[in-house]
Amino acid sequence: MSETARPPRHHRDTHELVAVILLSLVAVLTAWCGFESAQWGGDSSVAFAEASASRIEQADHENEARAAREIDIALYMQWVIADANGEDELADYISDRFSAELAPAFEAWRADGMQEKSPFRLAEYVPPGAAEAEAEGARAEELQARAIEYNDKGDNYSLMTVLFALVLFLAAIAQRGISLIASRIVLWLAGGIALVGLIVLLTFPIRF
């Protein structure tokens, strides 16, 4: 029997085989997208948790810096009062007890002719915990940005599962007793969507 004389049953069998193969391949791709979405989602959760931990550390260091600054300000005010009253010995006694953070700023302030209102305005004054708070803040920002990036990538994979679910739906419809021509149209549509989805999927990063 020639190729053009094949019975309709043969065409339908071939058509159903193509539909089954498409269903199988898309089912694997859907499972892969679900796996990748879970991987990226897990990494996103970890990054968000680490960002929150860094925010807490930042707050702790800021409190440390604030407390140290308050102590330095109180001691500095005593020096201002002693200096204003002409009590040089007391002023020297107080300045000798400035903290390791205030002392260099105080010396730089006096060497500069006390142009600033106080040594606390100078870059030399960095209370303990301030640098750590800044570092933790930067780390928290980086982790949060990374978490959002991971979350977006997981969402992209989730959207692909929806797309492939549509392909599964169309491929199933193509096997449900409709005319052969209509079934072929639906199957071609499903195959086209699956191909586009696969091409897009190949551009996505992979997380194991």
| Model confidence at 86: pLDDT above 70 | yes
- Global pTM reads 0.79
Give the model confidence (pLDDT) of 143-156 as tens digits.
Answer: 999 999 999 999 99
116 and 122 Cβ atoms separated by less than 8 Å: yes
Q: What pLDDT does residue 132 have?
A: 97
| Model confidence at 14: pLDDT above 80 | no
Tell me what the pLDDT averaged over the chain comes to: 91
Domain ranges of the chain: 9-201
Give the model confidence (pLDDT) of 46-70 as tens digits.
Answer: 999 999 999 999 999 999 999 999 9
Q: Helix, strand, coil: what percent of the chain each, to 5?
A: 80, 0, 20
Owner of token pair 């060497």:
111
Give the model confidence (pLDDT) of 133-187 as tens digits.
Answer: 999 999 999 999 999 999 999 999 999 999 999 999 998 888 776 777 888 899 9
Q: What pLDDT does residue 3 have?
A: 45
Selection from 24, 25, 43, 33 nearest residue 200 by Cα? 33
Q: Running DSSP on this structure, what letter comes out for residue 3? A: G
Q: Residue 76 — very low, low, confident or very high, per pLDDT cuts 50/70/90?
A: very high
Share of residues in the chain with pLDDT > 90 (%): 82
